[in-house]
Amino acid sequence: MQIYLPIAEISVNAFLLLGLGGLVGILSGMFGVGGGFLMTPLLFFIGIPPAVAVATEANQIVASSFSGVLAHWRKKTVDIRMGVVLQIGGLIGAAFGVVIFNILKSLGQVDLLITLSYVTFLGIIGSLMFVESVGALRRSRKQTSQPRPVRRQRNWVHTWPLKMRFRTSGLYISVIPPILVGMAVGVLAAIMGVGGGFIMVPAMIYILGMPTKVVVGTSLFQIILVTAFTTLLHATTNHTVDMALAVLLLIGGVVGAQIGTQIGTKLKAEQLRVLLALMVLLVCGKLAADLLLQPSELYSLGTPGGHS
Amino acid sequence: MRLIVLALGLVLTVACPALAQRVVADLSQSRVSITASFSGSQILVFGAIKPEVGSVIKETYPVTDPLSVIVTVSGPLEPVKVRKKSRVAGIWVNSESVEIDSAPTLYKIAASSPLTDILSETEDLRHRISIPKAIRSVGEAGEVEDLSAFTEALVRIRMANGLYESTGYSVRLSEQALFRADIDLPSNIVEGEYTTRIFLTRNQQVVAEYARVLDVRKVGLERWIYNLAQEQALLYGLLSLAIAVASGWTASALFRWARG
């Protein structure tokens, strides 16, 4: 069934969009990532103009994250206090990010910088996570009968002042590291045009030492606010949010998020991390290949003045 | 009545083909409505060739020279930026770019014979008929070495997307008097005023032309969403968010209910 999208101004298959939405929704519910880093390239691929794809994707992430966070909420795996602290950092970081983005844009080559930062971050995070989680998986297989020891990391985040108790995460740490993490992710999210879940999730696990189960719900919680803000910004400045496209994507997305949350709770934390690491590496590999291999069409079309 | 006129035109054309000619034509529809289920459209362009009223017999062309018909449909003109990738330090990056001042969003040519056989270079330049002539780029010529490579790329990409097309033998011309052409409009067209032009050529010279405007508009829900997004942007953004939150909640509630 073909449907004409009023803002994107092209006609696409409605079932294809429902399917794409569902797929990204499952990932969103499972891993706590918004899925923007996967969905946006997929939308480019089916011919949606980049500006419309980025803006509409933000709107869809609001829906699937909201759907996912409700499921986590009932399981009490959302650390609201941590989420709010990360969010404060995130907003400061996003403001910085927009400034940096505009400076880069005036210098030209902003597309290249986005792709390079994607490849670098995805590559580093993906490899580190993969090595760590495969190791953890091996250890847990060897000692299945024994109860797993609770990981209590004692690193620099525990020595800083302004300590706060994060009951849901079982942490008593300074608020400065979460704010810094939020800021760093906010900067990257603004530059790369995504929610930043795929950076936030590993940062919460490895830097803040939060338990994996809480990480997913908390990440979704803070993604909702970031992407809702982004959607409004795109809608009022560029008029590029396509409501028809968003509705089709989010119908698939919200259903997928519920299924993803179910799958997520059935998997072990280590398995979840291995899968997320593999997915991150896959996207990284694809982007790197695009940079290294000669494209079949050297030329591309765009609207003058605008970005990409 | 129309039949009589056409028949009359036919008789006159056959009888004295050296008369100055005139094109009478129409489209199967004067507007194309883009609805939610729009998946492309087909426009039938049809008409007749008539001698100009009160024209005198010219001896310039031999009687045997046949007439040819060219039909073009052009979308709204818009500037386009064409970027070229090249290899820098081992990776492929956008390096050069050219801004083309105006290029039609859609351009389709149908002709009764291959275009180069029935149209001279000068006439093409004067009336801007062929695809390369329909694209206008004046500025920035000095900035890149090879400007034509960029316009060729534009044509190549738009042809691959079904937006540009030029076909010979796609206008059916019967008895040098009646003609018809089917023009396919793909589903990825934009709104605006589309210009349909019909050229009558003889000896590669344009002897008559005719133009009609075809209105392509979004209607119904498409129109409403588009207007809201442009004119009430904040309301539209909030509405989009409300839909997102409501559907997220609905899915969550449904799944909880389904599990009991």
User: In DSSP terms, which residues pair with A12 in a beta bridge?
Assistant: A3
Q: Are B49 and A264 in contact (CB under 8 A)?
A: no
Whether B148 and B241 share a structural domain: no
Shortest Cα–Cα distance, A160 to chain B (Å): 38
Contact status of A299 with chain B (Cβ, < 8 Å): yes
Question: Are A112 and B230 a contacting pair at CB < 8 A?
Answer: no
Whether B225 and B214 share a structural domain: no
Q: How far apart are CA A21 and CA A46, in angstroms?
A: 13
Side-chain-side CA neighbours of residue B29 (13 Å): 14
Question: Are A11 and B153 a contacting pair at CB < 8 A?
Answer: no
Shortest Cα–Cα distance, A145 to chain B (Å): 32
pLDDT of residue B144: 64
Residue B113 lies in a domain: yes
Contact status of B210 with chain A (Cβ, < 8 Å): no
pLDDT of residue B11: 47
Beta strands in chain B (DSSP E): 21-27, 31-34, 41-51, 67-74, 77-88, 91-104, 107-111, 164-167, 171-174, 178-185, 192-202, 205-218
In B, which residues are within 8 Å of A258 by CB distance? 251-252, 255
Whether B224 and B201 share a structural domain: no
Whether B116 and B231 share a structural domain: no
Question: Are A294 and B40 a contacting pair at CB < 8 A?
Answer: no
Residue B56 lies in a domain: no
Phi, psi (rounded to 5 degrees) for A145: -75, -30
Whether B128 and B192 share a structural domain: yes
Local confidence pLDDT in tens for the 308 residues of chain A: 788 888 888 888 889 999 988 888 888 778 777 677 778 777 877 878 777 887 888 888 888 888 888 888 888 888 888 888 888 888 888 778 777 777 776 665 666 777 787 788 788 878 888 888 888 888 877 765 444 444 555 566 566 667 777 777 777 777 788 888 888 887 877 776 666 777 788 888 888 888 877 888 888 888 888 788 878 877 887 788 888 898 888 888 888 888 888 888 888 777 877 888 888 888 788 888 878 888 777 888 776 654 43
* Nearest to B227, CA basis, from A7, A13, A249: A7
Q: Are A189 and A61 in contact (CB under 8 A)?
A: no
Residue B6 lies in a domain: no
Q: Are A53 and A40 in contact (CB under 8 A)?
A: yes
Q: How many domains does chain B have?
A: 2
pLDDT of residue B45: 92
Q: Are A276 and A284 in contact (CB under 8 A)?
A: no
The model's pTM is 0.72
Residue B54 lies in a domain: no
Whether B196 and B233 share a structural domain: no
Q: A-contacting residues of B 77-116, CB under 8 Å?
A: 78-87, 90-94, 99
Q: A-contacting residues of B 145-184, CB under 8 Å?
A: 150, 153-154, 156-158, 161
Question: Are A11 and B40 a contacting pair at CB < 8 A?
Answer: yes
ipTM of predicted complex: 0.75
pLDDT of residue A149: 47
Whether B75 and B165 share a structural domain: yes
Q: A-contacting residues of B 6-65, CB under 8 Å?
A: 34-40
Whether B163 and B234 share a structural domain: no
Whether B75 and B150 share a structural domain: yes
pLDDT of residue B198: 93
Q: How far apart are CA A77 and CA A114, in angstroms?
A: 33
3-state SS class at B221: helix
Q: Are B122 and B195 in contact (CB under 8 A)?
A: no
Residue B227 lies in a domain: yes
Mutate to test the interface with A, among B234, B247, B256 (most CBs of A within 10 A): B247
Whether B190 and B256 share a structural domain: no
Q: Which residues contact B133 (CB under 8 A, 6 or more apart)?
A: B124, B125
Q: Which residues of chain B have pLDDT under 70?
A: 1-19, 53-64, 138-145, 260
Residue B256 lies in a domain: yes
Residue B128 lies in a domain: yes
| Identity of the residue in A250, A295, A302 whose CB atom sits nearest the CB atom of B247 | A250
Residue B74 lies in a domain: yes
Question: What distance lies between CA A213 and its chain's CA centroid?
Answer: 16
In B, which residues are within 8 Å of A294 by CB distance? 87, 92
Contact status of B190 with chain A (Cβ, < 8 Å): yes
Question: Are A254 and B245 a contacting pair at CB < 8 A?
Answer: no
Whether B237 and B201 share a structural domain: no
pLDDT of residue B161: 86
Whether B206 and B250 share a structural domain: no
In B, which residues are within 8 Å of A236 by CB distance? 233-234, 237
Contact status of A24 with chain B (Cβ, < 8 Å): no
Contact status of B242 with chain A (Cβ, < 8 Å): no
Domain range spanning residue B117?
Answer: 30-45+70-170+182-218
Mutate to test the interface with A, among B146, B241, B249 (most CBs of A within 10 A): B241
Q: How many CB pairs under 8 A join A and B?
A: 189
Q: B-contacting residues of A 219-238, CB under 8 Å?
A: 228, 231-232, 234-237
Tokens linked to B42: 């087909």
